[in-house]
Structure 1
Amino acid sequence: MASSSSSVFSPLLPPLRLPASCGARSSAPPQAGPGSADNANAVAASAASRPAAPLAVASHRREVLLGTAALGALFLRTPLPAEAREVVVGKFLPPVPSSPGFVFFKASTKDTPALRAGNVQPYEFILPPTWKQTRVANILSGNYCQPKCAEPWVEVKFEDDRQGKVQVVASPLIRLTNRPNATIEDIGSPEKLMASLGPFVTGNTLEPEEILETTVEKIGDQTYYSYVLETPLALTGSHNLAKATAKGNTVVLFVASASDKQWQSSQKILKAMVDSFQV
Structure 2
Amino acid sequence: MALKPLSSIFPNSTNPSLTSAKPHHQNMGLSRRDFINVGLSVMPLLVSPPPLSIAREVEVGSFLPPSPTDPNFVLFKATPKDTPALRAGNVQPYTFILPPTWKQLRIANILSGNYCQPKCAEPWVEVKFENEKQGKVQVVASPLIRLTNKPNATIEDIGTPEKVIASLGPFVTGNTLDPDELLETSIEKRGDLTYYKYVLETPYALTGSHNLAKATAKGNTVVLCVVSANDKQWASSQKTLQAILDSFEV
Normalising TM by the smaller chain, what interval? 0.7 to 0.9
Question: Is the counterpart of residue 123 in structure 1 residue 123 in structure 2?
Answer: no
Structure 1 equivalent of residue 217 of structure 2: 246
Deviation at 1:241, TM superposition (A): 0.3
Partner residue of 2:200 out of 223, 229, 233: 229
Greater C-alpha Rg: 1
Residues 80 and 139 (structure 1 numbering): CA distance in 2 closer, same or farther, change over 3 Å?
A: farther
Secondary structure in structure 2 of the residue aligned to 1:262: helix
Question: Is the counterpart of residue 177 in structure 1 residue 152 in structure 2?
Answer: no
Equivalents in 1 of 2:56, 2:151: separation in Å? 35
Question: Is the counterpart of residue 159 in structure 1 residue 130 in structure 2?
Answer: yes
Structure 1 equivalent of residue 13 of structure 2: none
Higher relative contact order by CA 8 Å / sep ≥ 6: 1 or 2? 2
Equivalents in 2 of 1:220, 1:78: separation in Å? 44
What is the 5 A alignment of 1:28-67? none
Mark the runs of 5 or more structure 1 residues left unpaired by the alignment: 1-27, 29-68
Residues 97 and 147 (structure 1 numbering): CA distance in 2 closer, same or farther, change over 3 Å?
A: closer
Secondary structure in structure 2 of the residue aligned to 1:245: strand
Structure 1 equivalent of residue 174 of structure 2: 203
| Aligned amino acid, residue 129 of structure 1 | P
Contact 1:169 1:253 in 2 (8 A): yes
RMSD: 2.1
TM-score, normalised to structure 1, is 0.70
Equivalents in 2 of 1:261, 1:273: separation in Å? 18
Mark the runs of 5 or more structure 2 residues left unpaired by the alignment: 2-41
Structure 2 equivalent of residue 274 of structure 1: 245
Structure 2 equivalent of residue 111 of structure 1: 82
Secondary structure in structure 2 of the residue aligned to 1:179: coil
| Aligned amino acid, residue 261 of structure 1 | K
Secondary structure in structure 1 of the residue aligned to 2:148: coil
TM-score, normalised to structure 2, is 0.78
Equivalents in 2 of 1:171, 1:222: separation in Å? 17
Question: Is the counterpart of residue 90 in structure 1 residue 90 in structure 2?
Answer: no
Residues 78 and 118 (structure 1 numbering): CA distance in 2 closer, same or farther, change over 3 Å?
A: farther
Deviation at 1:98, TM superposition (A): 2.0
What is the 5 A alignment of 1:255-270? 255-270=226-241
Equivalents in 2 of 1:264, 1:114: separation in Å? 35
Structure 2 equivalent of residue 216 of structure 1: 187
Task: Tell me the percent identity.
Answer: 77
> Structure 1 segments of 4 or more deviating over 2 A?
76-81
